[in-house]
Amino acid sequence: MNSIFDLNGKTALVTGASSGIGSHFAGTLADAGANVVLAARRTRHLKKRASELKHAQSEISWVKLDVTKRSSIKTAFSNAIARHGRVDIVVNNAGIGFQGNALDISAAAWNEVVDTNLNGAWLVAQQAARHMSADTGGGSIINIASILGRRVMGGVAPYAVAKAALEHLTRVLAYEWARHSIRVNAIAPGYIVTDMNRAYLESPMGEKARAKIPQKRFGRPADLDGALLLLASDASSYMTGSTIVADGGHLQSSM
């Protein structure tokens, strides 16, 4: 079927694809016809997921990537381009959570969260844009932000700050790179059950959080597929600098 969300002939690189939302997104993009490069640090997980995704139409590969290391990012893109020719779509999904009181956070813990969730996304976007703007094809960069970048809550200071900045980075890069035909957008998910938060969401505190969501349920990675395919495909050709919130209405209530 001819669809405006069709990704045939495109190559997508997904960071943090070894688990959770990133692992799921790799399958969604492949199902839409894209060649997919799974990128993360845990190569055993990447190999396993890549072998599950062997599609007749799309080529699946994996590269080792640490988003906090510029040399690792450079090598990962070189390998992806050697294999697929180019990268048209990048999903900046790698991230780590944080739980702790703002009074007690060490500088090292703060930096680790900001390095991964903000600086890592910036370094990956910059490397991607250098390749995307090298020819006239342009590309689409999708940053995975969070509703915690918009709402204040206790115990997540560096995470919330990094995600808020990631949304602003999305707007800044969209503005600068439109001239290179690169679109930069973001998705801000609400609570999606993954390894990052399963223990919390399944606790009594998580139950209280669930009760505040207007849809009265946590999300699944598949709840983000519509936003992902919109932003990855030409269906969003006139969108750049936008953030799509997918949260079951959570931002409309108190946290």
CA angle 42, 48, 49 (to 5 degrees): 90
In the annotation, is 191 catalytic? no
Residue 22 near ligand NAI by CB under 6 A: yes
Min separation Cβ 93 and ligand NAI, Å: 5
Task: Using DSSP, state whether 60 is helix, strand or coil.
Answer: strand
In the annotation, is 18 catalytic? no
In the annotation, is 200 catalytic? no
Min separation Cβ 251 and ligand NAI, Å: 12
Residue 158 near ligand NAI by CB under 6 A: no
Min separation Cβ 145 and ligand NAI, Å: 7
CA angle 210, 215, 220 (to 5 degrees): 75
| Binding mask of the shown chain, residues 38 to 77, with x at each position contacting ligand NAI by CB under 6 A | --xxx----------------------xxxx---------
Candidates 146, 191, 233, 236; catalytic one: 146
Specify the residue, 21 or 174, whose C-beta has the smaller distance to ligand NAI.
21
For residue 108, with 0-12 CB atoms within 10 Å meaning exposed, 13-18 middle and 19 or more buried, which class applies?
exposed
Whether the CB-CB separation of 14 and 37 falls below 8 Å is answered with yes
Q: How far apart are the first and last CA of the chain?
A: 41
Site for ligand NAI in 90-149 (CB under 6 A): 93-96, 116, 120, 144, 146
Candidates 159, 191, 233, 236; catalytic one: 159
Name the DSSP letter for residue 41: S
Alpha-carbon distance of 250 to 217, in angstroms, equals 10
Of the candidate spans 1-9, 34-42, 78-86, 130-138, the one that interacts with ligand NAI by CB under 6 A turns out to be: 34-42
Residue carrying structure tokens 């250098």: 130
List the strands of the sheet with 11-15, edge to edge.
Answer: 60-64, 35-40, 11-15, 89-92, 139-144, 182-189, 243-246
Alpha-carbon distance of 146 to 54, in angstroms, equals 30
Specify the residue, 30 or 65, whose C-beta has the smaller distance to ligand NAI.
65
Cβ-proximal residues to 1 (8 Å cutoff; 6+ apart), any chain: none
Specify the residue, 134 or 199, whose C-beta has the smaller distance to ligand NAI.
199
Question: Which contiguous run of DSSP H or E holds residue 13?
Answer: strand 11-15
* Of the residues 114, 196, 222, 251, which one makes contact with ligand NAI according to CB under 6 A: 196
Alpha-carbon distance of 11 to 58, in angstroms, equals 9
Residue carrying structure tokens 């918009």: 150
* Of the residues 119, 127, 140, 194, which one makes contact with ligand NAI according to CB under 6 A: 194
Of the candidate spans 1-9, 129-137, 176-184, 191-199, the one that interacts with ligand NAI by CB under 6 A turns out to be: 191-199
Min separation Cβ 40 and ligand NAI, Å: 4
Binding site for ligand NAI (CB under 6 A): 15-16, 18-22, 40-42, 65-68, 93-96, 116, 120, 144, 146, 189, 191-192, 194-197
Give the residue numbers marked as catalytic: 146, 159, 163
